[in-house]
Amino acid sequence: MALVALASSPSREPKTAGLGFDARWHDGRAELDGYRYTITRYGEERRGQAVMIFVTEPWSRSKRVKVEDASKHPDDVLDVLKLNIVRDFQTGIYDYNTMVSLFVGSRDFSPVEITFTSAEWCGNVYAKVLFDKDAINETRFSYFEDESGTKLLERPRDGVAQDALFIWLRGLRGEFLPAGGRRTTPLLSGILESRLRHHPLEWSAATIDRAPQPVSVRVPAGNWENAIYYEVKAEDGRMGRFWIEPDGDRRILKWSWSEPGRGEASESGELAGTRRTAYWKENGSGDEQLLRQLGLGPAVR
């Protein structure tokens, strides 16, 4: 694995966080982070793999799509940071292939849109969540009865989407909280959790704490003695834990969510490898070998 010693020795590529957000995130490349992934489904722990893809894009405010030529209608263009989270895992004879696409404004990380797809042998599910100024509009299309439709939610001014914590807690434009800090906020439930529990999105009061001191963490990509650590406690009993790279590119080293009751949809991920690249160009025969740098293997062997 190419970056197993990432924490203890310099990687092959110089750290880029010191360039500042705009220089780093507009360099024509994406950040790819591969994870060893575990999730509870049907009452059993399942192992799989996950990938996080972070990249900036020009976004059309009116069409809500990626813009191919931002110079045509510059007043309509919003620069966004996109996070795609791909989670793949096996449940007996059949597998799940899911993806969350989160779009936030690159200036303040305010959420713009979340989309979700899930494909497994029973059928497909697609959801889109649009963030307007005072409301959130969720639309679902599902193979399963009574799960399709549109729902309108209020948007609390200081509310945080659970899926957006993967961006917020990294501190890409400054620390989310100082060491030892605490924030109480409305938290919008995660869209994967919502699907697997057959439960609508909803707000829950949550407390976010940052540990006063660095912590140590061991993951497949290496060992860190001074990681930043966050805990997220929701009033419904869910708990999230996040270990963040303390310097360099501030990657998510590890995360977990525990669910109350039988634990359905509890999950965790541990960083296995990482690289920055224009991955959309790496689509030739043989390029699948690059997955080894993420600690992953190809979907088809």
User: Residue 157 pLDDT > 80, yes or no?
Assistant: yes
Beta strands 160-161 and 182-188, pairing class: parallel
For residues 16 and 53, what is the distance between their CA atoms, to the nearest angstrom?
16
User: Residue 85 pLDDT > 50, yes or no?
Assistant: yes
Give the three-class secondary structure for 295: coil
For residues 118 and 105, what is the distance between their CA atoms, to the nearest angstrom?
25
Tens-digit pLDDT profile for residues 100-138: 999 999 999 999 999 999 999 999 999 999 999 899 999
> Confidence class of residue 2 from pLDDT cuts 50, 70 and 90?
very low
> Confidence class of residue 251 from pLDDT cuts 50, 70 and 90?
very high
Q: What is the DSSP letter of 121?
A: T
Within a 13 Å sphere around the CA of 250, how many CA atoms are in the beta-carbon half?
18
Record the tokens describing residue 87, joined without a space: 């989670």
Question: Contact, 14 vs 257, CB < 8 A?
Answer: no
Give the three-class secondary structure for 176: coil
- The per-residue pLDDT for 29 is 96
Between residues 177 and 249, the one the model is more confident about: 177
User: Residue 14 pLDDT > 60, yes or no?
Assistant: no
For residues 243 and 253, what is the distance between their CA atoms, to the nearest angstrom?
5
- The per-residue pLDDT for 278 is 97
- The per-residue pLDDT for 103 is 98
Tens-digit pLDDT profile for residues 197-250: 888 899 999 999 999 999 999 999 999 999 999 999 999 899 999 999 998 889
7 φ, ψ (degrees, to nearest 5): -80, -30
Question: Contact, 80 vs 112, CB < 8 A?
Answer: yes
User: Residue 50 pLDDT > 70, yes or no?
Assistant: yes
For residues 14 and 16, what is the distance between their CA atoms, to the nearest angstrom?
6
Percent of the chain with pLDDT over 90: 84
**How many secondary structure helices (H) and strands (E) does the chain include?**
3, 16
User: Residue 256 pLDDT > 80, yes or no?
Assistant: yes
Question: Contact, 25 vs 81, CB < 8 A?
Answer: yes
Signed CA dihedral, 185, 186, 192, 197: sign only? positive
User: Residue 58 pLDDT > 80, yes or no?
Assistant: yes
Bridge partners (DSSP) of residue 47 are 38
Closest by CA to 164, choosing from 240, 220, 237, 79, is: 240
User: Residue 9 pLDDT > 60, yes or no?
Assistant: no
Closest by CA to 215, choosing from 229, 201, 203, is: 229
Q: List helix spans (H) across the chain.
A: 21-25, 165-168, 191-196
Question: Contact, 226 vs 246, CB < 8 A?
Answer: yes
**Which of left, alpha, beta for 127 (phi over 0: left; psi -120 to 50: alpha)?**
beta
